[in-house]
Every structure is written in C-alpha cells, then in structure tokens.
Amino acid sequence: MEHILAKIKEYNTIIIHGHIRPDGDCYGSQFGLQRAIQATYPDKQVYVVGGECDYCKFLGNMDVISDDVFEGALSICVDCANGDRLSDQRFKLAEYVIKIDHHIADCTYGDYQYVEEGAASCTQVITDLIIKGNLVMTKEAAFALYTGIVTDTGRFRFDSVNSHTMQVAGYLLDHGVNPAELDNLLSVDSLATLKLKGYVLSNFVVKEGFAYIKMTRDVIEQFGVSDEEAANQVSTISTIEGCPVWALFMEYPGNEIRIRLRSRGPAVNELANRYGGGGHSKACGASLKSWDDLDKFVDEAVALVKEFNEN
C-alpha cells in the first residue's frame, strides 16, 4: 500500500478505471477513491472512466476524457482481475498502471498489482488504503465506499464478511453515511423490473439441487429492461430450499451468452474457469459459446452439487 500511496502523491493526473458492466463495488471503488484523493490533493486532476452502472448512477457520472490526458498519467484499475475486462482499454496509454483488486488473481496486468483475495469487496481494500495513507475521507467518499461494501456482500450476508469488514463499515458510518438513505436508493424497482422478476419466478428450472433461469435476448427486449437490470435477477432465485447453487444464463447483443453463477455451499469458481470465467469461490462469471452448451453446463453444476451433498 505504501508504494501505491507514493504513486498517488507523485502523479498530478490520475485516472481510475473499472470493469465492463460495472457493479456497485466497482463504482464505489472508483468514486470513493477519486473523492478521497481530490479532498487530500485539491490540485490534482482525478478522473473516473468506464462503463455505467444504472442501479448505482446516484454515485456520479463517468468522465469523458481524450487520449492525450493519459500522457504522463497514473491509471489505477480497480475491482478487475483481468485487464481485458476493463471498460476503457486506454489504461495502457498511461505512464504507470496499478491494479487494486480482491478477486482470485488469475491474471496480472499493469506495472504494480495489489490483490487481497480474502477481502469481502474491493471497496474494503480501498478504504484500508485511504486509512493507511491518511487520505481525507469525505462524506461523499464514504457513501460511495459503503455502497460498494453493501452491494458486494449481499448486505453483509455472504460468508466473505468478517470482523474487519464490519470495522471498515463502521468507520464509514462514522464519516456521515446514512444506511437508511442507501437502502432506499437500492430497494426501489421499476415496474418493468418487477414484471421481469415475475417472469423469472414463473420460469426458473430446478434440476437436482441446481436452479437456473435462461434469459434470451427476446425476453429482455419484451420487458424493456436494461441488461444490468436483467442480469441482477440472479438474486431472485437465490433462496430456493435445497438449491445451494444457482445461475442466470443471459444473452447479450452479438450472441454473447454470459453466466452469473452463485453458491451458498460448494465452491463454483473451478466450474466457471472451465467456461472461460472466474471470480470468487462462490460468486463467479462465465460464458457459453452457444445455447447448445447449456445442458452440459447444467449437468456439471448438478454433479458439483451432488458431490457437495455426499461430503
């Protein structure tokens, strides 16, 4: 962390990157770090770039910058294990690149990597960095960071949560975060999203302890929701008794089929790895080459559940 803090102090232009299809932890890491750096070093130019997160748009808007801004700049890439998944690939134009993450480190990129695989969220790591460097923690920075912790821990329900996670959350609360305000922002669904949730509850499939929903492109367009709203429906089938593993198979534009794979029992990251993905042991992403591969994936997931139940 001392090396990262020294680089932050050294560079006058800092660009903070996030992954494609950013979630709350990604957005929280980007905006939380940006606001803490700006409050500590008012003369620095600090930008956040990348894709947009609809359900966390209340945290702020991405900056639009030209290529020349990267000249002589520091790029900090957060919450992204693989450089190919960063939304703005211009991080390669920066003079120095730092990776800060909490996912299983299956890929290295940049000039320096700092990864805490045991951390519940990247925002937890960023908060520790801010505390370590005595950076100024504003209410706005704390709110962004708290948002990331809350969303990436399933509101403190996942087994990645430990006492340090709660200590970090308490530190952010001490800096003016109102949990009720965030809960109100995260708990509101559009009418279209509620109707899609009804579709999911009526059409999910259960096979021998594995629950899943197949969401084709025409379904998403029928309900008029964003891809992000559709992908978030993976949590809709998370509480089925006797199904410790569940997944959402979703078709994106261009015939890309992405998998959101979750577990409250067996580790599923090795299964995700076999399908070009990865992530945490119990929360992963992967992909199918075509819908023809769906049955094979389901069979492998069922085998994983059976092995877990037998042991």
Query: pLDDT tens-digit profile of 8-55?
Result: 999 999 999 999 989 999 999 999 999 999 999 999 999 999 999 888
Residue 238's pLDDT is 92
The confidence band for 278, taking pLDDT boundaries of 50, 70 and 90, is: confident
The confidence band for 108, taking pLDDT boundaries of 50, 70 and 90, is: confident
pTM for the structure as a whole = 0.84
CATH topology of domain 192-310: Diaminopimelate Epimerase; Chain A, domain 1 (3.10.310)
The confidence band for 217, taking pLDDT boundaries of 50, 70 and 90, is: very high
Give the type of residue at 131: I
Residue 281's pLDDT is 84
Using the predicted structure, report yes or no on whether residue 265 has a pLDDT greater than 80. Answer: yes
- Is residue 21 within 8 A of residue 4, CB to CB? The reply is no
Nearest to 24 by CA among 131, 121, 114, 164: 121
Q: What DSSP string describes 55-91? A: GGGGG-------GGGGTT-EEEEES-SSGGGBS-GGG
Which residue pairs, CB below 8 angstroms and at least 24 apart, start in 272-280? 273/106, 274/300, 278/81, 278/82, 278/103, 278/104, 278/106, 279/81, 279/103, 279/104, 280/103, 280/104, 280/160
- Tokens (6 digits) for 221: 């367009």
For residues 52-59, average pLDDT: 89
- The domain 2-186 having CATH identifier 3.90.1640.10: the answer here is yes
Tell me the percentage of the chain whose pLDDT exceeds 70: 100
Domains 2-186 and 192-310 share a fold: no
**Per-domain residue ranges of the chain:** 2-186, 192-310
Using the predicted structure, report yes or no on whether residue 279 has a pLDDT greater than 90. Answer: no
